[in-house]
């Protein structure tokens, strides 16, 4: 999508029509957070839909978001103070993090990049929450690579939580 032909509202409308349980997935991701976090890193922040819910649940949390799309970053910066144009497969902003969270973004990476990301997260974070759409063996692989557990599953959507 180009910078001027969409808005966060259009994005939400489109994603909700493709994924009718989008809101449930977001709620379940926030419900999986294992303890009140102070410092949070969000991978693939997008329009900040996960961020909004996280801050509602944990008003004291400080969220740093990253996204590889300049359009997404441009929009998200209108609402959130710390949004970085960066790819999650590159070095992450300095931790340590109480929580690394990512909804509907991790599955954009290939398996090797996912494994490398989880190794880095484990070294720099006390917990990890992933909400995504999983096909085939992807869910079992992510549970293994992250050292986590499934906290919610509905059809091909699931939430994984790990504490380190």
Q: Which residues are near ligand SAM by CB under 6 A?
A: 44-46, 49-50, 66-69, 72, 87-89, 103-105, 108
Q: Which is nearer to ligand SAM, 66 or 162 (CB)?
A: 66
Place of tokens 């808005």: 7
User: Which residue is closest to ligand SAM by CB?
Assistant: 46
The least CB distance from residue 68 to ligand SAM, in Å, is 4
Is the CB of 103 or the CB of 139 nearer to ligand SAM?
103
Residue number, 68 or 163, with CB nearest to ligand SAM = 68
Total H helices, total E strands in the chain? 6, 7
What is the closest distance, in whole angstroms, from the C-beta atom of residue 107 to ligand SAM in the complex?
A: 9
The runs of H, that is alpha helices, within the chain are 8-18, 22-31, 49-57, 70-76, 111-124, 138-146
Q: What are the residues whose beta carbons fall under 8 Å from the beta carbon of 9, sequence distance 6 or more? A: none
Dihedral, 147, 35, 48, 45 alpha carbons, nearest 10: -30
Query: At closest approach, how far in Å is the CB of 122 from ligand SAM?
Result: 18
């Amino acid at each position: 999508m180009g910078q001027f032909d969409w808005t966060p509202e259009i994005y939400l409308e489109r994603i909700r029509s493709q994924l009718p349980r989008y809101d449930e997935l977001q709620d379940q991701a926030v419900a999986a957070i294992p303890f009140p976090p102070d410092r949070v890193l969000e991978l693939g922040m997008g329009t900040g839909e996960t961020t909004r819910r996280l801050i509602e649940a944990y008003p004291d949390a400080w969220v740093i978001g990253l996204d590889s799309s300049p359009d997404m970053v441009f929009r998200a910066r209108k609402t959130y103070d710390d949004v970085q144009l960066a790819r999650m497969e590159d070095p992450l902003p300095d931790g340590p993090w109480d929580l690394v969270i990512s909804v509907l973004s991790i599955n954009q990476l290939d398996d090797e990049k996912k494994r490398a990301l989880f190794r880095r997260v484990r070294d720099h974070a006390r917990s990890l929450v992933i909400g995504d759409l999983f096909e085939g063996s992807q869910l079992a692989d992510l549970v293994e690579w992250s050292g986590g557990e499934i906290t919610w599953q509905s059809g091909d959507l699931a939430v994984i939580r790990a504490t380190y």
